[in-house]
Amino acid sequence: MNNPSLLILPGDGIGQEVMAEVRKVIDWLGQKRDLKFDVSEDLVGGAAYDVHGTPLHDDTMARAQSVDAVLLGAVGGPKYDNLDFSVKPERGLLRLRKEMDLFSNLRPAQCFDALADFSSLKKELVSGLDIMIVRELTSGSYFGEPRGIFIEDNKRVGINTQRYTEDEIDRVARSAFEMARRRNNKVCSMEKANVMESGILWRDVVTEVHAADYSDVELSHMYADAGAMQLVRAPKQFDVILTDNLFGDLLSDTAAMLTGSLGMLPSASLGSPMANGRPKALYEPVHGSAPDIAGQNKANPSACVLSFAMALRYSFDQGAEADRLEAAVESILGKGIRTGDLMQSDGGKAVSCTEMGDAIILELNATL
């Protein structure tokens, strides 16, 4: 039987550093749990542009289509700010999402007990927080046509089109309802049906899918701006939040800060099933390339490690090992081990990126 295949794309900035710590976990699973992966590595973002003149080479794209899962670090940085829009590092990530048809973006916002004091909200509002945001990822205003900057009456006009088809809404709604069945059986769908026709269609289709196949799941609807307000007022009222591409981008970053640090948050982008029944998938930490600390061994690798845990769960049918890895991260946080983004004046042991990775491995050893 072939080993599951994994393509690693460290990318730019701290991507290289955090991915090195994931490599330790992959090696540990092979040595201690006899869970081996066929791992390959390639370039994306600015790193790919430096070599190929494009943020994603066609060969890399083809490889991403052929593996069981892709794990990405981060893309972008000030070095590339003046590039033409078509070859900016972020275009490589968008191409992966679009051509792999990764329509369902899973963004968990979980507040570990040890980090409840790090949130900008009161501890009682976020302690025990566990939300899953399901964001549509391959349509909406980021991909709709027409788009661009045009001249009308000698003035520049910027245009982006919010466009959704019934099928695009249907499939991401099903993804959210299936996720809710694995959790607390509640979905809140967020849009702007009060002012946007695409929002009216979104609400109609979600309601129809619910009535047809998911009536056992509790469904509610909320305008996205009200949803943002409720996220910072009483976030624990939510279980699964279903929303479109633009609002999902905004709402998931809002939810991210409830947990205390972007350095702790993973994500998964899932598509249609492949021949083996597993969905096409890309996993990545929510944080960016953090050029201000890149190359200084200060990054928090936890989000990237937890992204790999999501890969274990959703791509490799290794839920028990995902639980083990997530528990190891939570345990070392409970022991006060902290990278710089998590340090407070009231104590904790400051560690580097590599030391955080080593601590995770030690904790994994303790589970055996």
Which residues are marked as active site? 142, 192, 225, 249, 253
Bridge partners of residue 281, in order along the sequence: 270
**Distance between CA atoms of residues 22 and 225, nearest Å:** 36
| Helix, strand, or coil (residue 95) | helix
**Distance between CA atoms of residues 9 and 284, nearest Å:** 10
Closest CA to 368 of 129, 14, 32: 32
Q: Which residue has the tokens 């528990």?
A: 327
C-alpha distance from residue 183 to each of 9, 123, 187, 276 (Å): 30, 23, 10, 25
Rounded to 10 deg, the angle between the 197-213 and 166-181 helix axes is 50
Burial class (CB in 10 A: 0-12, 13-18, 19+), 15: buried
**Distance between CA atoms of residues 365 and 38, nearest Å:** 23
The helix (H) or strand (E) run that includes residue 351 is none
C-alpha distance from residue 141 to each of 147, 148, 248 (Å): 9, 12, 12
